[in-house]
Structure 1
């Protein structure tokens, strides 16, 4: 299992109650399943609307179970932003 950091932004940060936390997972899907288990409720709802960056690269429409995570990597959880 790869170990790294999940970073939450904006509404995801508020729902998680933390700015970041560690992950231990092989795929983005596994990491998000663990996040939902640790933070049931509002964060699980917010995650449905989020986009994700893995080590700075957008996940886009790829299936989360197909996105491999690297040792020491970073998952950025980005809710929709307004304004500009």
Structure 2
């Protein structure tokens, strides 16, 4: 289990109601499950469409269960952005 920070951008920030929050999780999947708890469908919809960075490295198409989170790490939740 690692402790770190999850940061939300654009629509993810609006749907979460916060810019960032702490996580305590071993994997990205665990952190996202905790973040989704108690939040509405709009937040879940945004997260499903988002891409993720862990300490600046793109997660890409890797299964979220396989992405280990580092102690003190930062997870960036990036929804699709409009424009060019």
- Which TM-score tier does this pair reach, normalised by the shorter chain? over 0.9
Moved over 3 A (4+): none
Report the aligned-residue RMSD: 0.8
Matched ranges for 1:58-73 at <5 A: 58-73=58-73
SS in 2 for 1:62: coil
Give the whole-Å Cα distance in 1 for the aligned partners of 2:72 and 2:49: 25
* Structure 1 unaligned regions, length at least 5: none
Q: Which runs of 5+ in 2 are unaligned?
A: none
Aligned pairs (5 A) from 1:22-37: 22-37=22-37
Q: CA deviation at 1:42?
A: 1.2
